[in-house]
Structure formats: structure tokens, C-alpha cells
Structure 1
Amino acid sequence: MNLTAKIAIVTDSTACIPNYFLEELNIHTVAYYIHRNNEVLRDLVSIQYQEFLNWLSTAKSIPQTASPGPGDYLSMYENLAEGGAQEILSLHMTSKGSGAYQAALAAADMLREKLPQLRIEVVDTLNVALCQGWMAIEAAREALAGTSMESILEKTKRMISQARIIQTADTLRYLYMGGRIGKAAHLAGSMLNLKPLISMQDGEIVALGVARGLNKAYEKMVNLIQAALQPDQKIKIAYLHAGATEQIQLLKSKVESRLECVESFTAELCPALMVHTGPGTTGLCYFPVN
């Protein structure tokens, strides 16, 4: 870790943070598990984005995913403590959709018995993907600037209620295979070119309706963001996709022609999340900054 940062930032592979941010900001990630047939894969460790994307596009059934266990987090925390971390902030996907938060809490309790002087704060972000990722990025920037744990926690807790994800799937097939939508709805939606819009509220997935075609879906995304913001409010935004480079550029152009973005970047959906929505997924994660 960077010796100028006394606070180490930990999050999960599901935060979908690009490698250049991980390296530049010294963010440490713990990988989710993907059970594919008889294989046990580690998200973005033993299976990478493009390889999994290629396989998933031809899959007849979808794999199961599992959060890291207490031992995975304990190993990470111990390594950081040995590397000189004095405090650890651990940020996790919504506890209403994953066991990561509880596993991290258990690991923190184990290490406190061994290293009582080490402060570990475990946070349930009630979010996923780059909403979770934005919290880790902003926390890491503050840590490198020498900000106190109390101030970083305060900012993170504000972001929990402010950060929002909106995404759409290119096809309803993967929602059907994962048991999240019925066959009739899947077939009807495919024939009508319907694109479901989903988000997250209080840590749970919520539906925002459907749109006919990607262009209408993207227009609706921009309208939803605009309606949620105060006049002249600026945002930071991350665009997220699974093998949909051209589509995500279209979404970006629609957003940034109507909203003031003080920072934006594009990232790929990690395999552990791609499982549930499939190739062609596009979306965004944003939060207001003023």
C-alpha cells in the first residue's frame, strides 16, 4: 500500500472499479466466487471480463455466484495490517443482496481480538457496482489526502443515500434463466424489443418500468436523473456495460449533452454481476456533488 495513506480502503470485485483506479488510489478488492458447472472461479482473478463475456453469450444456463467468506476478508485485513495500515475502511455490496457485509463484519471481529489497536470500519453501502465503487474511489482519495476516518465515514454515509444506479438489459433472456422473470414476459419482451429499467432503493432492486428500444431507454435514464437533481446540480458519473461499447457511447452522449458532469469514466461490468443481466447490459452510476 502507499505509505502516505494510514487508512487502507477495501471493497469487493463487484464494485467494478477499473484497474487504473485500483492502482492509482491503492484500493484493495476481494473477489467474489462464480460456480460454473464443476468449476469454482474467482471474479476478475481466475476469470477475466472478456473470457467470461464470450462464454456467457453461448451459455445454456447461468452460473451461481457467492460472496467471499470471513476468511477471505480476514486474509486481506491481516495483509494490510502487516503492510502498515493503521485503519481499514471496508465497503461492501448491499447486505440485502449479498452476504459480503456480514462476512466482513465477522472477519473484523476476529482480527480485533488479535490486533485490538487496529481500527476496522465495515460499511454496508446498500448499493452495488460503481455506486459502491464511487464510494471506494472517493474514500481512497480522501485517505491519500490525509483525511480522518471520521470525515471519510461521514462522506461515505452521505453517498449511500445519494448514489444511484440505473441500467437496462439488452435481452430479458438472462433475467429469465436466473428466475427473475417469467417465460411469457421474457418472450413478449423480446418480441416487442422492450428494455427493462432497473435501479436500487434502500439496498434492494427496484423496477423503473420499460422502454421500447435502447434509444427510448436512454432518454428515460436521462429524464430520471434530471428529475432527481436540484437545478444546476452537478454530478459525477460512471458508465457501465457488458460488451456494449457502441451503446454506452450513445448513452454517454445523451447524458452529457443535458447534464453537467464534473467527472465521468466508463467501466466494464464484472463477471459476478454480468451473470444476472447478460451481455449487452448498459447503465450508469452517479451521485450529485453540490
Structure 2
Amino acid sequence: MAEFAGYSMPIQYTQGIPDSHKWVRSKAGLFDVGHMVQMKFRGPKVTAFLESITPSDLNSLAPFSSTLSVLLNTNGGIVDDLIITKHSETEYYVVTNAGCREKDLAYLKSHLENWKGVEWELLDGRGLIALQGPFAADVLNIHTTADLTPLKFGQSAYLTVAGVECHVARGGYTGEDGFEISIKEEKTVQVTESILGSSPDVRLAGLGARDSLRLEAGMCLYGHDLDETTTPVEASLAWVIGKRRRAEGGFPGSSTILQQLREGPARRRVGLVVKEAPARGMAPRNRISPAQKEQQY
């Protein structure tokens, strides 16, 4: 266990990070991601509000469909990345990063001051677990009578899981098939224990494996691959900018971002294929003495 964003979080279990990583790639791992910030936005102008702080085309998003997006500052830098799920034209479910919680809440509060009639509900205390891996659907099928087949990646639904109504989104941040299950606070332990006790193919996995899995899949981690000095174009996330938004602009930093789309950025996040263990972001560099340096050359 380790402290992260004010929470005591499981980094690894007895199985260890490498074995958990391989288990999720071959079977199913269950992650506690209850530290993530869950919230809802409601109101007749809610789509316009969310489009005023992100570059996504939410008008074209179908009900109970999700998209990765980014909160932007006036320079086009990424304040945080987030998942936006559209429930209807007047309601959205949004998940942001725990490490950016205080910054994000202040950002949202300041922008909401100019939007009357948009209701913002912070879902503090609500549980969130991520069931990830090629066996995830088989495991979840044990606990719900719903047919999961029509639920495609990036879609969500309210389903009964282990006798409890949950918000179930097909997706995740490991590069595998899976589901993120949002649960009422008082029922979180019940649902989690039911899933864990139902199949030998599912095991608990910690945040260490979640990090190595997302890294292998080429997915960004805020504070490592993204920050407030990085635009979506520089981050190789230009695909989150909707076609209509590219034509109309109107989001923070749009002049900078649209210019980069036209002319190309001066820098861009890329992926590297390496033969051995990769160096993590902000890893300490090996220092050599002047004598070693002279000998080296």
C-alpha cells in the first residue's frame, strides 16, 4: 500500500507487478480505482458548457457513449485528461484523475460561474472498480442477467451486478477488453467480493500493473506524458478534437491548437520500442565523473 492523492492505494499484491501484468493480458484482473474523481453534470446547457472547456464534439456523441477528452487552459495546454460519458442531452457522467483533483475542482468551479442552470454533482464516496482482461466479460456474465454482447467498447449502461444497480462502462486503461463499474458506496465491498469469489480467472491487481499495462498500450498518464505545457496535438491526442470543433474553434487555446493542426507542432509525443526495460519519465540519470567522461572519449 502507498499514499497517492490522499488515498492509501494498493500498488501490488502478493502476485507482484510483472505477474499481475501478465495475468491481466491473459485472464482478468480487478483494480480498485475508487480514488478517481466521479461526477455528473446536468442541465439544458450542459453540452455547451462541456464543449466550452474541452475540444470534443459532444453533440454528435450518442447516448450512453464515452470519449476521452482533455480540459484545456488558455494556451491550449492540458489541465487534465478525462472520460466523458453522455447519458442524455441534459446529463453527463465524467471521471477525472485523482492526482489533479484539487486543481480540476477549482478549474470547473471557476468556469461554472459563467453558466447558470448547469448542475454539478460530485460523486464522492462512490466506489469504482475496473475489471480488465480477455476473460472480463465471462467473469462479469456470472453476476448479471444482462446481455453484454451489445455493449461495445466505449459504451455504458445501468446494469444489476451481484444484485446491485451499477453504472457499467465497457472500457478501461490497460489496452484490454474490460469494464469500469461504478457502485454505491455502501455496496462496493459486496460487489467486489462477489466478483473476486466467483472465478479462478480473476485476481486483484494493483496500480503498479495498471501503470505498466497502460504504458505498454501507449496510453498517456497525466503528470508523466501530459501536463499544462503540452497541447493535445503535441501529445499525439489530436483525435480527441472533433471535426466540427476544428472548423468552429471556441475552446480554450483554440488558436494555438488549430495552428498546430494546420502547420504541425514543434514537438510531439512518440512511442519507442525498446529491447530491455524502458526508462520511466523523470527517472534519475546516471551521473559520471569528469575522469570517467575523459576515459569514455
Is the pair's TM-score, using the shorter chain for normalization, greater than 0.5? no
TM-score normalized by the length of structure 1: 0.28
